[in-house]
Chain A
């Protein structure tokens, strides 16, 4: 037979009909970047309106549509698909598999996403406007009092959920069945481990979300009263169901980010990851705990005190495995030989800012104190520290780290560093003052605010514009790399990088590992 490689099909059919994990990964990554820009545009509208007290640019109702779509697009359109794209590109290459286990389903799980988001975005042009009830869509604001477009929102959520479930099943099947001989579970790169656990979380909770929106659909159109006390239902039931999905969801977002950082920090420390096994166990513990802490988002709904105490203690426990991870990353750096290329800068940015987000998370877990923090800008600051500086920084680090492997070209290092510093400074100017206004009493999701919050809000808006603009630099750098970056041919690209994906040629050929690789008895990254 010989080494016969058939390349990709030509033209649009290459992308429409592809079953290749690299093509699908690429599409996921570009799609999520497009959604990142769209969700970012919504955020710019929000920050522009909040630049000064008073209503200037938009009406309060439209402002709520913006906060709602910003959250939905960023969570379901930008962050989640970006990590699925990364998983598609990297998991087969990391475990020595030729492709994903279910390549046709892979194509399908990507291609239902764009219509799903098209439908969600089209609600902006419908009568009554887009959903305006927040990304958490609490009933009855999202049922009895919702605009007619809510039905399209429900269908869009179903579509995105299906896509996520299929993507997760594919990842689980791939990791369980397609590992190269000798690649035992405890030799899996940490990125693969975190994704395997994330995939289980997704399969467990996306159906719960689907259940919640289906109950909404029934309440709206078919006369049921799941969430209406007048018909014997309970609006708080909605919140329990939503957060039973929603809390694992935040770990779905952050665990792959942990995985990325666990690949990058050792590479630029030129030292194996400290405490590989404890990292795996900590990830699994976080995943388990994520299922039993959901009601800490609901301390003020009037739960019995025993319930409050339980959820408080359980939530505080999450600090333990999360702390272990942070300590392990820092121990990895300790007495390494560090260098600070762009991926490492973003990884360190992640480490610092995610840790700050973790601290405020611990503060929020304290139920009595949460009575003062709940639904204020303190919460907004907290979750942007973990979502943006956590997930998005780590994703950005990943793109810079693997881009040379994917394209065979090196990005512009200076521009990458400028991107990091502008992002880092812009991010902190945006979100750090939000801790202050939150503690001083500014509620979240308001289009206008009292005068004492004016200065910090203006600062926050300026920071947001800076952070937003820095993403254009990122886009430019990536496109310029693909088109005209300096060629790289070294398989390893980075001298400290370890793992099977660095053993294939650079750029990674269309098909890799048609013959399973030999896995070392003790891989260098453990």
Chain B
């Protein structure tokens, strides 16, 4: 075991050399901030080093031959071409090396699969193209929210500078407590996605109609970033994951604040909002939820144009229907369970009054609530 440790340490030391020279250009897997992540990293380094050693031996022999057994050196080719003993040896030895690799791989895998006794359960649902997190906790108001890409379209299309966390930033991160076994229940709403955060060593496919389990116990507070890793349509590259690992106290107070928020949201149902308030919130919602498909100026793209569209200029009920229920068989999903009444009211108002759609219609949260009831 100590030999293995030495190898791993040597390899780790080697692998940090280039990364020191090229600060941004990480060249190796990160051991991350979980025990499993560190185990996987060790396993990765062990196998990498075994491969490198075997590779050096094999290529060494080959290059020796290339240099010394050249026709141009006047060598007379030997004609040997068979040896059962040698064949048996190079079948058996690799087999034994594989067995040696399989032992640590098996024990790590069994740990990865040990989903029992989690202290916190979080339901993760993949949507085209965002994540929804729900804290499965029976006490109090349910805390659930969507996590959308926060990088502006202008940065993606190069008219604005790209920030440090370009494409790896969200409007609302997942918050988890450190030193706590958190179980992730992963599923999807539409197509298959995959939830991956390298630093916490969790990657699980999010499959519509099935729930997969994974777990993590993060040991260091910090912000950890990841991405969807299963091709899920046009904006697959634009649904990042950000996890904030915080102390237990911080987590509890965050949770309490989220519960209050949920309660006040319910209270806001009867509230009247001004056109200005609706338009400014509507713009924010639009830029988060709609802009990728419908364009920054409502000109359309994957989705239909909103500027001058029959829906945005026509019957309000049809417009609300599409917003809430989506259009079956297209990428236009049902936003009914993704947006609150006030968000829905705001974005519909915005769509009916922006981009030259000057209908003057004002939709209030109460109208949305009424429409939902049918």
* Chain A interface (Cβ < 8 Å from any Cβ of B): 53-56, 59-61, 64, 132-134, 138, 140-141, 144-145, 228-230, 234-236, 269-278, 300-302, 305, 308-309, 312-313, 316-317, 319-320, 323-324, 326-327, 330-340, 348, 351-352, 355-356, 359-360, 362-363, 366-369, 371-372, 374-376, 436, 439-441, 443-452, 454-456, 526
How many A-B contacts are there with CB distance less than 8 Å? 286
Contact B43 A334 (CB under 8 A): no
- Interface residue from A230, A272, A335, A368 paired with B75 (Cβ < 8 Å): A335
Stretch of B200-208, B244-252, B261-269 that contacts chain A: B200-208
B-side contacts of A338, CB under 8 Å: 65-66, 69-71
Contact A374 B226, CB 8 Å, known A317-B98, A335-B78: no
Chain A residue with minimal CB distance to B51?
Answer: A359
Contact A436 B164, CB 8 Å, known A145-B191, A302-B210, A302-B213: no
Question: What are some 24 contacts across the A-B interface (CB < 8 A)?
Answer: A53-B166, A56-B158, A141-B232, A229-B210, A235-B192, A235-B207, A235-B209, A271-B79, A275-B83, A313-B102, A316-B102, A317-B98, A323-B90, A330-B58, A334-B69, A348-B62, A352-B62, A368-B36, A374-B203, A436-B26, A439-B28, A440-B29, A444-B229, A449-B237
Contact B166 A450 (CB under 8 A): yes
Chain A residue with minimal CB distance to B167?
Answer: A450
Give complex CA distance A413, B324 in Å: 68
Stretch of B105-113, B139-147, B363-371 that contacts chain A: B105-113
Chain A residue with minimal CB distance to B93?
Answer: A323
A-contact 0/1 string along B127-161, CB 8 Å cutoff: 01000000000000000000000000001111000
Contact A276 B98 (CB under 8 A): no
Contact B109 A145 (CB under 8 A): no
Contact A319 B39, CB 8 Å, known A336-B69, A363-B51, A449-B167: no
B-side contacts of A313, CB under 8 Å: 102
> B256 contacts the other chain (Cβ, under 8 Å)?
no
Contact A371 B40 (CB under 8 A): yes
Contact A140 B208, CB 8 Å, known A275-B81, A338-B70: yes
B-side contacts of A236, CB under 8 Å: 207, 210
Contact A309 B106, CB 8 Å, known A362-B51, A363-B51: yes
* Chain B interface (Cβ < 8 Å from any Cβ of A): 22, 24-30, 36, 39-40, 43-44, 47-48, 51, 54-55, 58-59, 61-62, 65-66, 69-72, 75-83, 86-87, 90-91, 94-95, 98, 101-102, 105-106, 108-110, 112-113, 128, 155-158, 162, 164-168, 190-192, 194, 196, 198, 201-205, 207-210, 212-213, 226-238, 301-302, 329, 331
Contact A368 B66 (CB under 8 A): no
- Interface residue from B98, B157, B191 paired with A140 (Cβ < 8 Å): B191
A-side contacts of B232, CB under 8 Å: 141
* B196 → chain A closest CB, angstroms: 7
* A360 → chain B closest CB, angstroms: 8
Contact A316 B101 (CB under 8 A): yes
Give complex CA distance A228, B208 in Å: 8
Contact A337 B90, CB 8 Å, known A54-B157, A374-B203: no
A-side contacts of B22, CB under 8 Å: 455
- Interface residue from A61, A229, A272, A362 paired with B209 (Cβ < 8 Å): A229
Contact A54 B331 (CB under 8 A): no
B-side contacts of A335, CB under 8 Å: 65, 69, 75, 77-78, 80
Contact B61 A330 (CB under 8 A): yes
B76, B106, B301: most-surrounded residue (chain A CB, <10 A): B106
Contact A440 B26, CB 8 Å, known A64-B236, A301-B205, A309-B109: yes
Give complex CA distance A269, B166 in Å: 53
Contact A447 B237 (CB under 8 A): yes
Contact A359 B237 (CB under 8 A): no
Contact A64 B234 (CB under 8 A): yes
Closest A-B pairs by Cβ, 10 of them: A229-B209, A446-B237, A302-B212, A440-B26, A359-B51, A61-B234, A436-B27, A337-B71, A337-B77, A335-B78
B-side contacts of A454, CB under 8 Å: 24
A-side contacts of B191, CB under 8 Å: 138, 140-141, 144-145
* B238 → chain A closest CB, angstroms: 7
Give complex CA distance A266, B41 in Å: 41
Give complex CA distance A333, B71 in Å: 11
Give complex CA distance A269, B77 in Å: 8
Contact A334 B65, CB 8 Å, known A141-B232, A273-B81, A356-B55: yes
B-side contacts of A360, CB under 8 Å: 51
A-side contacts of B90, CB under 8 Å: 323-324, 327
Give complex CA distance A446, B94 in Å: 37
Chain A residue with minimal CB distance to B234?
Answer: A61
Contact B69 A320 (CB under 8 A): no
Chain A residue with minimal CB distance to B232?
Answer: A141
* B277 → chain A closest CB, angstroms: 33
B-side contacts of A277, CB under 8 Å: 82
B-side contacts of A445, CB under 8 Å: 231, 236-237
- Interface residue from B55, B95, B231 paired with A355 (Cβ < 8 Å): B55
